[in-house]
Amino acid sequence: MIVEAVSEDLALRHAAARLFERVDEMSSSKVIVDFEGVKTITRSFAHEYIQRKKASKKLVEERNVPSNVHRMMETVLAAQHDKKRVDLGAVTVTIL
């Protein structure tokens, strides 16, 4: 239950980092994160959660994810996939 481990309001990036420190210390190779009771989530918490989940050696699954939390996670994932890449070889710098 993420509400018990963190809060019903998932706001701080370091809270997501601490959550995954606990996840990575668990002996089980599969961890279920239950979002029941979560009221809010910030973009920074969602971003850190996603990054830590990708980096974790554990199989992490979510359950009971409220629609607002799901939308924020999807927004963060979409932004990661839509990042524009700049070819620095094609950039010209002009000093004014």
Instruction: pLDDT tens for the chain, 96 residues: list them.
Output: 999 999 999 999 999 999 999 999 999 999 999 999 999 999 999 999 999 999 999 999 999 999 999 999 999 998 877 666 666 666 666 677
67's tokens: 């629609």
Cβ neighbours of residue 26 closer than 8 Å, sequence gap 6 or more: 58
33's tokens: 């994160």
Closest by CA position to 38, among listed 65, 71, 17: 65
28's tokens: 């089980």
The answer to whether the CB of 89 falls within 8 A of the CB of 56 is no
d(CA 13, CA 20): 11
Q: For residue 52, how far is the Cα from the chain centroid?
A: 7
The answer to pTM > 0.75 is: yes
